Structure 1
Amino acid sequence: MRPGAWCGVLAAVALTATACGGGSDEGAAGKTAEAGAQSAGFPVSVTDCMGAKTTFDAAPKKIVTSNASALELLLWLGAGDRVAGTGFPPGKGALPGQLAAQGAKVPVLGRTVIPKEKLLASGADLYIDSFSSMKNMGKMGDAPTPEEFRAAGIRRVFLKSTACAAMNKAPRTDLSGVEADIEQLGKVTGTSARAAELVAGMRKKTDAVRGALKSVPQDKRPSYFLFDYDAGTKQPMAVCNRQVANAVITEGGGRNVFADCEGDFKPVGWEDVVAKNPDWIQLAVRNRGSAEANDKAFDEAAEFLRSFPATKDLKAVKEGHFLRLNSELTTIGGVRSADTVREIAHTLHPDLVK
């Protein structure tokens, strides 16, 4: 953390301090600040995708987020007033109603990936990276090196459930990775109590679904294909067993037809989808900014599957077994992942999950 930002943190925590500079009370103020930081759970250490450790002696004061999902998590945690900018900003209607007004005030540093120079000059002391290694985000631009981040005084925290998904050692079948991200951000931002509340709320929902489906054997649950319409129709993109979507689908009582695929995402052929012949297909489109625009995109995705020779005779297509769910709610982890689990479960098992 840069000296100026550190000074601001100390001034906020040490209520008896008169300034960050010298003075006769400097020693006492420093001790008070240290005690305040420790009482808030600091110092806090977190690791990146490769296990390298970063330690925070106090909560960050100025945060930049890589995309809307990281921004949303900070808003849920009550740390939204510290967000100084974001990339991939939330579209109209993308954030929950109670968060929308505050989210709309966050400066947009990049409509997609934040330009390297703008990120390094943002004055942030923390950058939250949601998609460091995600292969389906396209060209990620010229990202700053670790050395450049350090020179700018910016520390980086990864949302591992997505950023590190491809590196997971085992398939993701529950939301523990997403919950860990929330708890980690809570520790880093000094909002651990709120993080615990959010995680408890998520677990209450997923535990209820799990209890409702306990009588349905895994091998009897309907097969499920997430059709990422925005990834293109020439070659479908499969979500594999390390991706958050695999956990959401599994917890929702479905069987991801590409759960045998190692990693997070993988291009496959339509012949592979046909061979799986899924019971249900999610029409996964990215939020278009309005219910009307989203419905139009869902309709287009469904019409493609009904008219495309390779897919028109699939079981799910012939029976109209489509789920109209924005892809962000499935493939990007967050507080609302538990709601998506419940929605999938209700659609697939309406008699068991009300």
Structure 2
Amino acid sequence: MCAVASGACSKPKPTAGVDAATEPRVVSLTPSTTEAVFALGAGDRMVGRSRFCNYPEVAKSLPQVGGYVDPNYEAILGLRPSLVVGARGPGGAAVEQKLQGYGVATFFPRTESFAEIEAMLTGLGALLHRESAATETVGRIHAQTEAVEKAVGGLPKRKVLLVFGLEPVVVAGPGGFPDEMLRHAGGVNVVADGPAYPTIGIERVLALDPDVVLNASMAEARGTERIRSDSPGWRDLRAVKEGHVVAITDEAVLRPGPRLGDGLRTIARAVHPEATIP
């Protein structure tokens, strides 16, 4: 099981050669891959990161090379990386293609499911010569997932709306890892059709009638208070009237990386506060 830039394969194959006999110099363009490099014990191989990479704390001391879809190519090349890692997402293909043109090896896997995230960790572990650490990290995610499923297994499924933004309203739809996270946590995603991260109107929010609203709009500190208050539309929502609006401040919920199991536990505790989540 391996998702890489060139597709599924038995071994990770970056788009240009990485010398297996030497330790790579790594630039990471996404928070999740930065976390993965450090979690696998290869943080000392990191030479650059995107402006969004803020965990672990030590990563902040690394040189910034712009963002994920707008990286500073001159800054990246100046760091002489042997490997640039990112994720297969919006804009990722264009960034990867340009890096390939400079002769830089890249690893941009898909990370939109638990299986793909685990494959990313396994593939990155192979590229960084940290196979044992990758196996251990994936095993921990499996154990956390199984423990959560056991804790909520006998409880009623709650209809959940997971909100990522309020202006406009951006939510978790089907097909992404947040949708899978809701299912593992004993919930049912009320947004059952459309893209993985759709923008919807308040009228549809009301029609969906969730049992629980999870507000993970990190950039909007007062977002949960707005939902709970007399905001037009939201105040008519049953979940608001019954006090079932929960603020999600754990960044692990939003990151398809080594803390996936931690994010799942956070979601499970919010969906089923009556359960004992290990």
TM-score, structure 2 length as denominator? 0.85
Pairing partner for 1:83 from 9, 23, 46: 46
Q: Which residue of 1 aligns with 2:216?
A: 284
> 1:50 Cα shift?
5.0
Q: Which residue of 2 aligns with 1:104?
A: 60
> 2:3, 2:120 within 8 Å by CA — same for their partners in 1?
no
> 2:100, 2:106 within 8 Å by CA — same for their partners in 1?
no
Pairing partner for 1:228 from 151, 157, 164: 164
- Residue type at the aligned position of 1:256: N
How many residues were matched structurally?
269
> 2:48, 2:63 within 8 Å by CA — same for their partners in 1?
yes
1:11-26 correspondence to structure 2 within 5 Å: none
Pairing partner for 1:274 from 185, 196, 206: 206
> 1:310 Cα shift?
1.2
What do residues 145-166 of structure 1 show as CA deviations (whole Å, max 9, x unaligned)? 62x42342311111411xxx4x
> 2:4, 2:123 within 8 Å by CA — same for their partners in 1?
no
- Tell me how far apart the structure 1 counterparts of residues 272 and 132 of structure 2 sit (CA, whole Å): 34
- Tell me how far apart the structure 2 counterparts of residues 205 and 64 of structure 1 sit (CA, whole Å): 29
Q: Which residue of 1 aligns with 2:135?
A: 196
Q: Secondary structure at the match of 1:308?
A: coil
1:24-103 correspondence to structure 2 within 5 Å: 47-48=4-5, 54=14, 56=18, 58=20, 61-91=24-54, 95=55, 99-100=56-57, 102-103=58-59
- Tell me how far apart the structure 1 counterparts of residues 270 and 203 of structure 2 sit (CA, whole Å): 26
- Residue type at the aligned position of 1:87: S
Unaligned runs of at least 5 residues, structure 1 = 1-44, 135-139, 166-171, 289-296
What is the root-mean-square deviation in Å for CA atoms of aligned residues?
2.7
What do residues 168-205 of structure 1 show as CA deviations (whole Å, max 9, x unaligned)? xxxx5xx2222121111111111010111111112111
Please list every run of at least 4 consecutive aligned residues from structure 1 whose deviation after the TM superposition is greater than 3 angstroms. 49-57, 140-145, 297-301
Identity of aligned residues (%): 24
Pairing partner for 2:236 from 313, 332, 336: 313
Larger Rg: 1
For the pair 1:158 / 2:108, whether they are aligned, the reply is: yes
With a CA cutoff of 8 Å and minimum separation of 6, indicate the structure with the bigger relative contact order.
2
Q: Which residue of 2 aligns with 1:239?
A: 172
> 2:252, 2:259 within 8 Å by CA — same for their partners in 1?
yes
Give the number of the structure whose residues are more often helix, by fraction.
1
> 1:57 Cα shift?
5.0
- Tell me how far apart the structure 2 counterparts of residues 117 and 51 of structure 1 sit (CA, whole Å): 31
Moved more, 151-160 or 202-211: 151-160
- Residue type at the aligned position of 1:202: I
Unaligned runs of at least 5 residues, structure 2 = none
Moved more, 60-69 or 201-210: 60-69
- Residue type at the aligned position of 2:186: G
For the pair 1:179 / 2:118, whether they are aligned, the reply is: yes
Moved more, 56-65 or 307-316: 56-65
Q: Which residue of 1 aligns with 2:89?
A: 133
